[in-house]
Amino acid sequence: MKIDEIKTDELEPVKFIEQKANDIAYTVSNGIAINALSGGVDSSVVTMLGHRALGDRLKTYFIENGLMRKNEPHQIASLFKNMGVSVEIIDAKNKFFEALKGLTDPEEKREAITQTFYKDVFGRLVQDSGAKFLLQGTILTDVDETVAGIKRQHNVFEQLGIDPQKAFGYKIIEPLVQIRKDGVRKVAKALGLPASIYDRPPFPGPALAARVIGEATPERIEIVRQATSITEIELSRMKAFQCMAILHQDKVTGMREGKREFGLQIEVRCWDSVDARAAKPTNLPFDLLTRLADRIVDEVPGIVSVTYNIASKPPSTMEAV
């Protein structure tokens, strides 16, 4: 099915909000819907649209998959609570790490996360809540890249010929599928969401598992979580589209306190982009890069090397996995 793109400069956010809230209300009728909030701008907008349309008949969950950034679950849940939206945190860490065990291939990791999320965790929530619909924030770029076979975005089904009703037992509603990231930000602002949300850099569905090359064990995720936190703080003043730390699989020889240390490598990426379809590495001042590297090797156990990616998308993609 061809999706009718609404270009960002033609998007009228107030009209869009009204129309999508009406569509959701019509589709769900007097039933119940559920959605997963991650705190990213896409899922935040969907949460607000759904609450506008359905009020308490939308059940919003934050799935703690063990792959999120430092303190993210509680920060997001309390931000939405302050806006009158209650969010239940579901602890599913063990399920995700169990599913990721032994997997090193990027697409297999994505598939394991998708299945755990939609079948295992959501399948159960749907059963318990009696919901027939799942609202989710798929955007047009997710569909494009999946259809082109570049990366399987974890939230795209119909375009791959998968019927969620058959595969998972519920229908999926995607109110944002005609717009791209910059359009979603316009809508978020019009919905009254705070700047910490509408200006929030994107974060991938597979979360930090997309930033660990090789097996995503709890220990390796914790390493990349710490490096991510430092990277985001140090590079925040650049106001880049997105910045990230990636844990490599290969080790390299380093030295610490006069002794050889065969240690781990972190690759930093920082992107300038409008809509994530193409991106250039941000021209970062060298002193900022070296301060970042110093902090990462000092504060994150086992890291002896830090590199900065200077290739563009394409042929790179923004996330490494």
| Residues engaged in binding ligand XMP (CB under 6 A) | 145, 151, 153-154, 202, 204-206, 210, 242, 276, 313, 317-319
Q: What angle do CA 2, 191, 172 make, to 5 degrees?
A: 40
**Cα-trace Rg, the chain:** 20
- Asked if the peptide bond before residue 285 counts as cis, ω within 30 degrees of 0, the response is no
For ligand XMP, the closer CB: 64 or 275: 275
Q: Which amino acid is it at 132?
A: K
Contacts of the segment 145-153: beta carbons below 8 A, 24+ positions apart: 150/317, 151/106, 151/110, 151/317, 151/319, 152/107, 152/110, 152/111, 152/114, 153/205
CB burial string 64-73: b at 16+ within 10 A, e below: bbbbbbeebb
Q: In the bound complex, what is the minimum distance in angstroms from residue 281's beta carbon to ligand XMP?
A: 13
DSSP secondary structure string for all residues of 114-170? HHIIIIIIHHHHHHHHT--EEE----HHHHHHHHTTS---TT--GGGT--HHHHHSS
For ligand XMP, the closer CB: 40 or 304: 40
DSSP secondary structure string for all residues of 275-290? SSSSBEE----HHHHH
Q: In the bound complex, what is the minimum distance in angstroms from residue 142's beta carbon to ligand XMP?
A: 6
In what helix (H) or strand (E) does residue 244 lie, and over which residues does it extend?
Answer: strand 242-247
For ligand XMP, the closer CB: 54 or 209: 209
Q: In the bound complex, what is the minimum distance in angstroms from residue 184's beta carbon to ligand XMP?
A: 12
How far apart are alpha carbons 305 and 294 in whole angstroms?
10
Q: In the bound complex, what is the minimum distance in angstroms from residue 275's beta carbon to ligand XMP?
A: 9
Q: In the bound complex, what is the minimum distance in angstroms from residue 115's beta carbon to ligand XMP?
A: 14
For ligand XMP, the closer CB: 129 or 316: 316
Q: In the bound complex, what is the minimum distance in angstroms from residue 205's beta carbon to ligand XMP?
A: 3
For ligand XMP, the closer CB: 17 or 246: 246
For ligand XMP, the closer CB: 99 or 297: 99
For ligand XMP, the closer CB: 183 or 202: 202
Q: In the bound complex, what is the minimum distance in angstroms from residue 222's beta carbon to ligand XMP?
A: 20
Of 37, 31, 40, 14, nearest in space to 85 by CA: 37
Altogether, the residues listed in the chain come to a count of 321
